[in-house]
């Protein structure tokens, strides 16, 4: 099991990505408006888990957090991780990668809890 964590605590968003597929998943990136640099997720092996805490420090108003990747046809795909947040919000999101389709699209479920 691969596990990696940046910081723990109330501030920010604790993100857990669980790869429940039978293959390694790579090329995932997380972003939000006004981010200085998108967050590249390392390869998550089949059955592995990756954890991180994202603490936005940029100035922004209303925002959302997006996970994106390219499928096998090099088409960018997006999934919403956190639909709405503002400065001072905190919470968690669990991303379950359930299946990688032949075209490279990923079936996933995302659960978010904000406080």
- pLDDT tens, position by position, 57-90: 888 889 999 999 999 999 999 999 999 999 889 9
pLDDT > 50? residue 3:
no
Residues 33-48, mean pLDDT to the nearest whole number: 97
| Residue spans per domain, the chain | 12-114
Give the pLDDT of residue 7.
43
Q: What are the DSSP calls for 94-113, one per residue? A: EEEEEEE-TTS-EEEEEEEE
Which option is the CATH number for 12-114: 1.25.10, 1.10.357, 2.60.40, 2.40.50?
Answer: 2.60.40
Give the pLDDT of residue 10.
62
Residues counted in the chain: 115
For residue 44, give the DSSP letter: B
Using CA atoms of 17, 18, 23, 27 in order, give the dihedral in degrees to the nearest 10.
0
Give the pLDDT of residue 95.
99
- Per the CB < 8 A criterion, the answer to whether 46 and 23 are in contact is yes
> pTM for the full model?
0.89
Query: Which of 7-21, 47-61, 91-105 is least confident?
Result: 7-21
For residue 46, give the DSSP letter: T
């Amino acid at each position: 099991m691969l596990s990696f964590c940046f910081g723990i605590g109330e501030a920010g968003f604790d993100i857990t990505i669980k790869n429940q597929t039978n293959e390694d998943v790579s090329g995932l990136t997380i972003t939000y408006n006004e981010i200085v640099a998108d967050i590249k997720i390392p390869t998550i092996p089949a059955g592995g888990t990756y954890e991180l805490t994202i603490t936005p420090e940029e100035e922004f108003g209303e925002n959302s957090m997006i996970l994106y990747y390219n499928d096998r046809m090099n088409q960018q795909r997006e999934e919403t991780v956190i639909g709405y947040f503002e400065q001072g919000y905190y919470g968690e999101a669990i991303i379950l990668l359930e299946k990688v389709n032949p075209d490279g699209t990923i079936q996933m479920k995302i659960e978010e809890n904000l406080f």
